A and B are shown apart, each in its own frame.
Chain A
């Protein structure tokens, strides 16, 4: 509960919240629009390479996970190490409801996203109630991830075990492969970014800022810390769950590996930290860079993990603030407005 500054750039996130309150509406949303425009022309650049388009869609999905994680961890200091599991809840929930119960996707997706959101709420609520430290929130959610993974492996009839399961249902929403799917994911990502910015500008943003800087002081000045933490947990988890559900429909096939800790939580943590934890565009910048890096490193198979390790070490040893705050500072200094 002490007000120790976390080792990752949360101070910069506070600066960002403070900054967006003093600018006109259009300037506050300018980064969102900018990101949307830049990402919208990506398909024009990669032309009709199905392979590259698939990778671009994956990049958008990771950016989406990143926004969710950013809201939970970057805004309310809750280290959720169960992003993969929450996405898996969305994905497997939708698939099972679609395959077995034959519910239409428009029912199955919201239902499974709701489950993910409720799980997030439960984790937040329990950790606030029990006054768990960041580390214990991490351990509890990590434990949940492992339980979920084992459940997937065990419940073969429903999940297909480790071989995975085919999404039988012909989805109406992301049914479009290729370009259509790209723009669906882009639309979702832009909506996430807009929602994050809206939160930053509202009273919620101030509350987040206060509780991130000093939880006890926030509580004492009348902020309902529990409420805002649960809110962050719910919104972030729902975002992650929705991406998982959409991804299942888009891929048409899911397996436990898709939602493993090492395949979701770790990359998302790395890419958000790379961009600058808590800053609006961190997931977009981080995901773009890592999608490219991942593609370049693909031929190196297992050594890729080593390279990620090295990046992680370099990042947290020498570059803890992330790209965005550093670039912001640089620009400000160049313009002489430091």
Chain B
């Protein structure tokens, strides 16, 4: 039971990390391979602000805001060229350009702040959940992830803008005919995905830590969860995150060591081969 709860806690973080990636794919048909780097930007900037003596909440808020701004800038610059293309060519160019962006960010951060780490300690004794004592940091991270995901889903379901976003994911041309401007919403959602990556960094900092070298690993994790859940599906990312989180912790406890990550990758590969559109994706 303890293992399953740990898996759920980890899975919520994975889902939070992946959900931004899946939304911009659904909305713009682009894949952002600098997603993990956006998270790292939040982590490093918040850590630096804390060093300068800023309060924790302010540092975290500014860190998350910076990731959103970075995403906004990316959309306004690099993605302009990408949106001019369509279909497969668009995905491919977005992938190549964001690899470039990821390199730029990685290089700068690792060079300038090789040892900077963001740790957010949540002090206090463990709290029992279903009879299992859970660390406060882990609970706080789960609560943060859950809150962000619930707010996001509520936004998509019940607000005008949210419905517009879903209609574009469903059918871009149709949405345009109904008077929705996809490019403005795309920019907004890109910024939102940056903020979500930033929140994922905060959640990670509550359970472990986040540093300059972790961008690529985070991007890959987000990518795996996104693909397993179905590119473009928010609910799919949530389901896949939880599923993979549980698989990960289970195999970590019962099989152990390096095999864990291989099992995670194998699960992703099998899902792609059986259902290329992902668990909850639309038909390919």
Whether the pair A308, B103 counts as a contact (CB closer than 8 A) is yes
User: Which residues of the partner chain A approach B100 to less than 8 Å between Cβ atoms?
Assistant: 308-313, 315-316
A302 on interface, CB distance cutoff 8 Å: yes
Q: Nearest B residue to A301 by beta-carbon distance?
A: B111
Q: Are A304 and B272 in contact, CB atoms less than 8 angstroms apart?
A: no
Residues in A with CB closer than 8 Å to B104 are 305-306, 309-310, 313
Known contacts A132-B276, A308-B103, A312-B100; A2/B81 CB under 8 A? no
Q: Point out the residues of chain A lying under 8 angstroms from B31, CB to CB.
A: 135
- Bound-state CA distance A288–B165 (Å) is 47
- What secondary structure prevails in chain B residues at the interface with A? helix
Of A113-121, A136-144, A237-245, the segment with at least 4 beta carbons within 8 Å of chain B is: A136-144
User: What residue in chain A is nearest B216 (Cβ atoms)?
Assistant: A262
Q: Is there contact, CB below 8 Å, between A307 and B87? A: no
Q: Does B180 contact A (CB under 8 A)?
A: no
Chain A residues within 8 Å of B97, by CB: 312-313, 316-317
Query: With a CB–CB cut-off of 8 A, which chain B residues contact A262?
Result: 216
Binds A, one of B52-60, B88-96, B233-241, B246-254: B88-96
Q: Take A7-B89, A143-B268, A146-B265 as given contacts and tell me if A136 and B103 are in contact as well, using a CB distance cutoff of 8 Å.
A: no
When the two chains form their complex, are residues B220 and A146 in contact, meaning their CB atoms are under 8 A apart? yes
Is the pair A302, B88 in contact by a Cβ cutoff of 8 Å?
A: no
A147, CB-defined interface residue at 8 Å: yes
9-residue interface stretch from B65-73, B120-128, B167-175, B256-264:
B256-264
A312 adjacent to B276 (CB under 8 Å): no
A130 surroundings in chain B (CB, below 8 A): 273, 276
Q: How far is the CB of A28 from chain B (nearest CB, A)?
A: 30
* Pairwise interchain contact A306-B273, C-beta atoms closer than 8 A: no
A321 to B108: give the CA distance in the assembly, Å. Answer: 28
Which of A5, A140, A150, A302 contacts B262, CB < 8 Å? A150
Question: Smallest distance from the beta carbon of B22 to chain A beta carbons, Å?
Answer: 13
Q: Which chain A residues border B259 with CB–CB below 8 Å?
A: 154
Distance in angstroms between the alpha carbons of A309 and B215 in the assembled complex: 14
For residue A6, CB closer than 8 A to chain B, the reply is yes
Whether, in the assembled complex, B110 has its beta carbon less than 8 Å from a beta carbon of chain A, the answer is: yes
Bound Cα distance from A262 to B110, whole angstroms: 15
Contact of A306 among B81, B99, B107 (CB under 8 A): B107
> Quick check: is A151 within 8 A (CB to CB) of the other chain?
yes
- A144–B269 contact, CB under 8 A? yes
A302 near B111 with CB under 8 A, answer yes
| B184 shortest CB reach to chain A, Å | 23
Given contacts A7-B96, A317-B97, contact A304 B107 (CB under 8 A): yes
Q: Is B102 interfacial (CB-CB < 8 Å)?
A: yes
Task: Known A2-B87, A135-B31; judge A312-B107 contact (CB<8 A).
Answer: no
A133-B88, A305-B103, A317-B78 known; A147+B265 contact, CB < 8 A: yes
Measured CB to CB, the nearest residue on chain A to B91 is A135
* Interface assignment of B101: CB less than 8 Å from any CB of chain A: yes
What residues of A have a CB within 8 angstroms of the CB of B106 in the complex?
305-306, 309
Interface size class of A (residues with CB under 8 A): 35 or more
Q: Does B227 contact A (CB under 8 A)?
A: yes
Q: How many residues of B contact A (CB 8 A)?
A: 46
A5 to B88, CA, bound (A): 8
Which residues of A are found within 8 Å of B2, using beta-carbon distances? none
Taking the nearest CB of chain B, how far is it from the CB of A149, in angstroms?
A: 9
Give the CA-CA distance A131 to B88 in the complex, in Å. 13
Q: Which residue of B lies closest to A316 (CB)?
A: B96
A4 close to chain B: CB less than 8 A: yes
Which of A134, A307, A315, A317 has a CB less than 8 Å from the CB of B92? A134
Residues from chain A with a CB closer than 8 A to the CB of B257 are 154
B151 on the A face (CB < 8 A): no
Chain A neighbourhood of B284, CB < 8 A: 131, 133
- B224 CB-CB contact with A under 8 Å: yes
Chain B residues near A188: list those with CB within 8 A.
none
B76 within 8 A of A: no
Partner of B107, one of A6, A131, A143, A302: A302
Neighbouring A residues of B101 by C-beta, 8 Å: 309, 313
CB pairs A–B below 8 angstroms (15 shown) = A6-B89, A130-B273, A131-B284, A132-B272, A139-B223, A143-B265, A147-B266, A151-B262, A273-B96, A305-B110, A309-B104, A312-B99, A315-B100, A316-B97, A317-B78
* 9 more CB-based (< 8 A) A-B contacts, given A134-B92, A139-B223, A269-B96: A126-B273, A131-B284, A136-B272, A143-B224, A150-B261, A305-B103, A311-B100, A313-B104, A317-B81
Nearest 5 CB-CB pairs, A to B?
A309-B103, A306-B107, A312-B100, A154-B258, A305-B107
